[in-house]
Structure 1
Amino acid sequence: MDIDARGPRFGAAVTTVVLATVMITGSVWLLAWQTLAFACGAAGGVGRSPYGWLFRKAVRPRLGPPTEFEAPQPPRFAQAVGLVFAVTALIGFTAGPGWLGLAATGAALAAAFLNAVFGYCLGCEMYLLMRRLTVPAG
């Protein structure tokens, strides 16, 4: 079942704010929260993430009906990619080196920003590229 395309973009906007705050404050607890959000989205799909729930309950009822839908697999894969970066960042911030935490957080922040502002999902594009490379033509 396809999902409302506005939901992942909303989630990316919230993620952008969270990760920018992590970059400014160095808050490991906030990064841990974002890691959990990515884990929920990777395990259950973006609709099961905290930001998907917030979109569904608080934002979508105030919007008109969706006009664009997308397959759930690419955003779910993007959440898994975000999870890898967030776990890497947690390791960097807690065990060192600190630059690893900053670099991984910055990479995740850049990807979330691109999705939130321009609607360009790097993780989704990676998913589609992998599908093209692994599924035989015919």
Structure 2
Amino acid sequence: MATQLKALDHSAMQTSRAVRMGVLLAAFVVNAPWLVAITGVLMLAGTARGRGDFGFIYRALRRAGWISPDLIPDNPEPHRFAMGIGVVFLAGSTLAFLAGLPILGWVLTWVIIGLTALNLFGGFCVGCAVYYWMNRVGLRGFVKAPPPGVIPGQRPSRPD
């Protein structure tokens, strides 16, 4: 099935990933589970709206001229799905903290830190790959296929 790609601003997504990872690392270093909860709420809002969780920071950096858009043809749905998975993990983390299980809370937080780092530095989105695999096996609702020539989960390259 042919997929209608949209021009997605990968600079915005990379900025959100970098800020998310920084906030979650800072939360761990200073033992501030409330920062994990706030990050989860921002990710939930971003997932629901189809925008980045830290898009407001990207927009400020862009207005200041420190960042430029990087528009690449891509599917937004897998990225929203991946953020939704992150929301589930950070919600679980927050519930673990509230239940007095800080080790579990930090383990779940570190899963998101690791997956975010893999995407930020390695260009591979595990949540996107899962989305595309679900599309491949025909699960209802997973209607987008990876862009042509792109390994599921891999960041698409810029068009020539």
TM tier, shorter chain? 0.7 to 0.9
**2:138 equivalent among 124, 130, 134:** 134
Q: Cα RMSD over matched residues?
A: 2.1
TM-score, structure 1 normalization: 0.84
Alpha-carbon separation, structure 1, partners of 2:61 and 2:77: 24
TM-score, structure 2 normalization: 0.74
- Assess if the C-alpha contact under 8 Å between 2:79 and 2:128 holds in 1: yes
Higher relative contact order (CA 8 A, sep 6+): 1
* Residue 103 to residue 8, structure 1, CA distance change in 2 (3 Å): same
Q: Which runs of 4+ in 1 moved over 6 A?
A: none
Alpha-carbon separation, structure 2, partners of 1:21 and 1:64: 26
Compute the displacement of 1:28 (Å): 1.9
SS of structure 1 residue aligned to 2:29:
helix
Counterpart position of 2:144: none
- Assess if the C-alpha contact under 8 Å between 2:7 and 2:72 holds in 1: no
Alpha-carbon separation, structure 2, partners of 1:36 and 1:20: 17
Q: Sequence identity, in percent?
A: 29
SS of structure 2 residue aligned to 1:46:
coil
How do residues 1-138 of structure 1 correspond to structure 2 at under 5 angstroms?
1-47=6-52, 49=53, 51-59=54-62, 62=65, 63-134=67-138
Q: Name the one with the larger helix percent.
A: 1
List alignment gaps of at least 5 residues for structure 2. 1-5, 141-160
Larger radius of gyration: 2
List alignment gaps of at least 5 residues for structure 1. none
Compute the displacement of 1:58 (Å): 2.4
